């Protein structure tokens, strides 16, 4: 059993507070992409990060931001590794993260069902502007791969929906 030291907890909180480069309202901790942080030697830290999507271009910016914030905190050597397993899911977004997404105008993802089977697209998704559940899908892919474009039939505003993954 590997235990976490107080220093590791402090550094993990620091790395977790880095804002997501594409959704700066969320921190990496709230997005649920920060998997692990270990102090492996004095002044040396290893961080494990998982991508939201396989091709997510933000992962390199995230790594660089984590390195910078830990360097600024006096850690000389920082290694950020990307891990794929277990795959990230939108269920990893924290409750606070979901609240912030909605406040930012992005409908948060619903809890995911079983991993296989058809993609559920028809359950009610609430408009982040007016709160109506009368919304329709305009496009399965929106400003980024992780979002779909929808329109609210009540207030007529288009909005992004963070797709379940």
Stretch 80-99 residues interacting with other proteins (CB under 8 A) = 83-89
Structure tokens at 146: 């992780």
Which alpha helices (DSSP H) does the chain contain, by range?
Answer: 6-16, 28-31, 58-72, 95-103
Contact call for residues 82 and 51 (beta carbons, < 8 A) = yes
- 61 in contact with other proteins (CB under 8 A): no
- How far apart (Å, rounded) are the C-alpha atoms in residues 120 and 112? 9
Judged by beta carbon, residue 45 or residue 52, the one nearer other proteins is 52
Judged by beta carbon, residue 4 or residue 54, the one nearer other proteins is 54
Strand partners, 9: none
- CB 115, min distance to other proteins, A: 7
Contact region with other proteins (CB under 8 A), list: 3-11, 70-78, 94-102, 118-126: 118-126
Contact region with other proteins (CB under 8 A), list: 4-12, 22-30, 67-75, 137-145: 137-145
Judged by beta carbon, residue 11 or residue 162, the one nearer other proteins is 162
Task: Spell out a b/e string for 79-109, using b for 16 or more CB atoms within 10 Å of the CB, else e.
Answer: ebeeeeeeebebebbeeebbebbbeeebbbb
- CB 108, min distance to other proteins, A: 17
Residues that bind other proteins (CB under 8 A): 51, 53-57, 83-89, 115-116, 118-119, 121, 138-145, 149, 163, 165
């Amino acid at each position: 059993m590997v235990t976490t030291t107080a220093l590791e907890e402090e550094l993990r909180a620091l790395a977790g507070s880095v804002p997501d480069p594409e959704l700066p309202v969320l921190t990496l901790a709230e997005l649920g992409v920060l998997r692990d942080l270990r102090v492996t030697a004095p002044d040396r830290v290893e961080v494990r990060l998982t991508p939201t999507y396989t091709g997510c271009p933000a992962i390199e910016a995230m790594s660089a931001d984590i390195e910078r914030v830990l360097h600024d905190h006096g850690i000389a050597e920082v290694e950020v590794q990307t891990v794929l397993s277990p795959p990230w899911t939108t269920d990893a977004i924290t409750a606070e993260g979901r609240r912030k997404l909605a406040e930012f105008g992005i409908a948060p993802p619903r809890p995911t069902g079983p991993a296989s089977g058809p993609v559920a697209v028809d359950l009610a998704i609430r408009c982040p502007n007016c709160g109506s559940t009368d919304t329709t899908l305009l496009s399965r892919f929106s400003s980024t791969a992780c979002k779909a474009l929808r329109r609210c039939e009540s207030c007529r505003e288009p909005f992004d929906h963070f797709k379940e993954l």
